[in-house]
Each structure stands twice: as structure tokens, then as C-alpha cells.
Amino acid sequence: MSLEDLRSKLLDVEETLSKYIVGHKWLLRLMVVALASGGHILIEGPPGVGKTTAARLFAQLIGGKFRRIQATSDTLPSDILGSYYYDIARGSWVLREGPIFANIVFIDELNRAPPRTYSALLEAMQEGRVTIEGVTYSLPRPFLLIATQIPVTAAGEGTYPLPLLIRDRFAYSYRAGMPTIDEEVEVLGRVDVIDEATLSPIMSQGDIEAIQGAVRKHVYVSDRVKRYIVELVDRIRRSEELAASPSTRASIWIMRGSRVLAFLEGLDYVAPDHVKAIAPSVLSHRIALKPEYEVEGLNPVDIVRRALEEVEVPKS
């Protein structure tokens, strides 16, 4: 299959999703970027704005298995990973696979879960595998985890900010807001179709693997663009407002996300504009502000925008 055919399939997935999901255009773009780059997505925002529906329909379009997990204060690692039970008929212990064994795993309100549960996700997100009772199991391919967190200020008791350790494992983030009046009216017009939607796959697992390989092999990132990426991240690290700064993973995911954006445009090279487009989604959730600056209303996105304005853009 040609590069153009692979690109067309990826764009078809995004376009089909847009027929069912009102607004959230950048989230739909991030989903295909995450699929093509092998990353995971963290979404912050209120409930009831279409996040679960987007993930479910996305799984259908890529021919993948979808599982949803509702995190609560008593969610255990075994509720996600699975556990062993004794099968009397077989006379042996058998693994009952948890919902993590799917292609698209949607974890709602992750910041309601206890820290022990977060740790159960680290190996899955980083290595694409899980270890249960000392035995390691590979997860299905592709594996994409989409998690939501409710803003702590609006969520009430029992919800806490996600630790930086787990936030850093998410390649991209998206802040979902409430729909505008026009968008909500449009939702009402589509709701019956959305509720009954069962979409045919546009691509196969082989297509996805081919797309991931094409992005890595055929989209060039020059040394100047790589330095631009690192200088952006370094500028943020040197900001006095930060209590915690982005790790090297931030630079890696900016590069990987930029390559997919270039691929979607039919280009075989990454331009600074691709870096500028993806940088806020990679960096914002990796920034922790000092309390005194949070009180003043400063936002991580402000820090990213300032860095984009201050760091010199390489000339082509």
C-alpha cells in the first residue's frame, strides 16, 4: 500500500469521527496522531461532553477492541489488569484478563483512583505489557490508553491531581470545555444517530503498523528542528514559575507528534509549524506550577506560549 493510501486512511478516520463528534476537532486530530505515533492521551474536562463516545467510535473505525473503566476511590490494580482464578474443570489456575487487554482502553476520572492503581498502568503505558503474579503478558497491538481527569477544583471530595510520574507517561493532553450553544444544539440533532452508531473499520492492524513505520521512516526531522524542540523544552525548564519541569520524554513526543502532523499534510519533513502546533498538547500536562503562581491564575499553557514566542524559530 502506498504512503498516500495510508495517509488517506488515517484522514478518513478523523473525518468520519467528525461526522459524529461535535466540536473537539483538535482531540480528533490528537487521536489519530496518538495512533500513528504510539502515544497515549490525557483529557481534562467536565463529564458529558462526548469523550467516551469519541473513543468508542474511534475503536470501531480502527477495527479494535474497546474497553471502558470507571475509576473510583476503591479501584484496585486487579480491576484493570485482571487476576487468576482456580478453574475446577481444568484443575489449574487461569488468568481472567482485565479490561487493559484491549486496543483502546478508556479510563474515566482516573484521578479518583488510588495511587496504587496508577502504578499498575505504568508498565502497560511504557512497555505495552503487564505483569500479573510475576508473569508478563503482552497487550494487544495497537494499544492506546485514553484517560480523563476531572479538574480538582470542580470535582469535590475524593479527587486529587494526578502525580507527575503518571502524567509524564501520557504523550499528549487535551482540555475539553463545555460546548457552545450552537454546538449543543447540533448535538441534539445528532444524538439519536450517535447512540445507535456502529461503524465499519476503515483500517486494519496491518494498516496501523504500516502507518507507524511510514511515519518513522519517511518523515525527516532535521538537526535544526531537533534543536528547536530541545530549546523550547529547555526554555520551559528554566522558568522560575515551575515546581516541576518536563522530562526528556517531552522532547521525544514533540518530535514524534510533529512527524505525524507532517505525514497528515503529505510532507516528508517536519517544519517548525508542526512543532508549534503539537507542543502545547505535549508540554502542558508536564508542567507543575509553584502554588503562588497558581493563586495568581497562571496556567501551564501560558508558560508554553511564552516559550514559543521567545525561542528563535529555525530558518528553512
pLDDT in tens, 264-303: 999 999 999 999 999 999 999 999 998 888 888 888 999 9
Split at pLDDT 50, 70, 90, the class of 183 is confident
3-state secondary structure of 107: strand
Averaged pLDDT for residues 252-271: 97
Averaged pLDDT for residues 201-205: 93
Split at pLDDT 50, 70, 90, the class of 89 is confident
pLDDT at 154 exceeding the cut of 60: no
Tell me whether the CATH fold assigned to 3-195 matches the one assigned to 219-310.
Answer: no
Q: What is the pLDDT of residue 157?
A: 60
Distance CA 285, CA 274 (A): 19
CA-closest candidate to residue 138, choices 152, 154, 127: 127
Category of 129 on φ-ψ map: left (φ > 0), alpha (ψ -120 to 50) or beta: beta
Distance CA 159, CA 152 (A): 6
Averaged pLDDT for residues 30-43: 96
Q: What is the pLDDT of residue 119?
A: 80
Report the topology of domain 3-195.
Rossmann fold (3.40.50)
pLDDT in tens, 90-122: 888 888 999 999 999 999 999 888 888 888 899
CATH 1.10.8.80 is held by the domain 219-310:
yes
pLDDT in tens, 223-248: 999 999 999 999 999 999 998 889 99
Averaged pLDDT for residues 144-161: 75
pLDDT at 158 exceeding the cut of 80: no
The beta strand positions in the chain, using DSSP E, are 41-44, 66-70, 82-87, 92-97, 104-108, 129-132, 135-138, 144-149, 172-175, 242-244, 288-289
- How crowded is the C-beta side of 76, counted as CA atoms within 13 Å? 5
Q: What is the pLDDT of residue 93?
A: 83
Task: Give residue limits of the domains in the chain.
Answer: 3-195, 219-310
pLDDT at 307 exceeding the cut of 70: yes
pLDDT at 85 exceeding the cut of 90: no
Q: What is the pLDDT of residue 199?
A: 87
Q: What is the pLDDT of residue 153?
A: 57
